[in-house]
Amino acid sequence: MERVLTALMDLVVPPASMVMLAFAWPTLSFLRALEWALKALTKEDMRGKVVLVTGASSAIGEQVAYEYARRGANLVLVARREHRLFAVRENARALGAGHVLVVAADVVREDDCGRLVADTISYFGQLDHLVNTVSLGHDFLFEEAGDTAAFPHLMDINFWGNVYPTYAALPYLRQSHGRVVVNASVDTWLPMPRMSLYSAAKAAVVDFYETLRYEVKDEVGITVATHGWIGGEPGAGTGIGTSRFPLEEGAGAADQTQAQAQVQQWTKADTALPAPGGQAVEEYARAVVDGACRGDARVRRPGWYDVFHVFRAFAPDVLGWTFRLLLSTAPAPPTVAGASGSTRPPADRVPGRGGWSEAGGGAAAQARV
């Protein structure tokens, strides 16, 4: 009987849900717009409040810091590249930031995260927003990795690099009824080829914070921001490009490991979002901070990606067919036979979206900001 009931539910519930959603969509959209308008009128005033931004030395983290600076917030800028943070600090001050504290730390180390939060409380006496932007993408097929030593490093940066700062900051965010802002990606629910580990890590991040949202209830707000696919310098490879930067300067000896070397060879940083006018990162950062100040639970840019939620839930084969059609026209990457008879990419070449490029020099990737 139970099997019959389950089979009946499988047959009836999906189409019935789609019909109900179709009829309810106009009302839900109206209520959502009304909620947005009410939140916009009661937007949080950030003047004099304290915002800690990880990964603030470049890209999304840097632009988020500037957006908070325009709102008059006090800033704590965190990254491994301390020399780069000093330049960001001066720019933030020019944009209207109050006091700006620079902390050199590695957010994949729990003791560093405890220290940077302790420094923040010691200097400002409070913490209102924690913004986690540290992220590391990659652009290779899973079988092209060649060395699994990089795998845990990717997970450390993309997952634990968000969790550790949150764990250290949460008691103080409870005191201030503050907010955690998280930089995620559309890959969490729309996995793309060549991004398997990145997608898995970002999915773990989103699930972690969605669960944490119910644990902290209304005491701490959580904003999960997702953006579209990462791009970079126009004209590189495809029309979107793949921006690559040198590995951070001043990395400690402990970081000069086989995993770091492999990550440097095979990965790229989250640097830009494809959009006209070259202002994608700034626009995304502005949307994130606006959403956080409104108290939004989620910020998605661009918003039209939401439609793929429906396809993934009710018609996953459509996405599968689409990917197969797109990938069927892509040229196969060159490979060389290894000692064991397996195929691996040539050692002096790294994969890119539009083909292959030489490794080393300016083509190397930035490990993290």
Contacts of 265 (CB under 8 A, 6+ apart): 350, 359, 364, 365
Task: Report H helices in 80-160.
Answer: 82-95, 110-124, 150-155
Rounded to whole angstroms, how far apart are CA atoms 138 and 352? 10
Rounded to whole angstroms, how far apart are CA atoms 136 and 158? 6
Token pair 């930035």 in the structure block, residue: 366
Residue 167 appears among annotated catalytic residues: no
The beta strands (E) that lie in 158-236 are given as: 179-185, 221-227
Rounded to whole angstroms, how far apart are CA atoms 77 and 30? 39
How do beta strands 136-138 and 267-269 pair? antiparallel
Rounded to whole angstroms, how far apart are CA atoms 302 and 325? 24
Rounded to whole angstroms, how far apart are CA atoms 267 and 197? 11
Token pair 């940077």 in the structure block, residue: 116
Rounded to whole angstroms, how far apart are CA atoms 100 and 92? 8
- Which residue type is seen at 353? R
Dig out the tokens for 299 from the structure. Answer: 């910020």
**Catalytic residue (one of 66, 68, 172, 198):** 198
Rounded to whole angstroms, how far apart are CA atoms 50 and 75? 6
Please state, in angstroms and as integers, the Cα–Cα distance from residue 25 to each residue in 156, 189, 204, 270, following that order. 39, 21, 29, 34
Q: Phi then psi for 358, rounded to 5 degrees?
A: -70, 145
Contacts of 106 (CB under 8 A, 6+ apart): 80, 112
**What positions carry a catalytic annotation?**
198
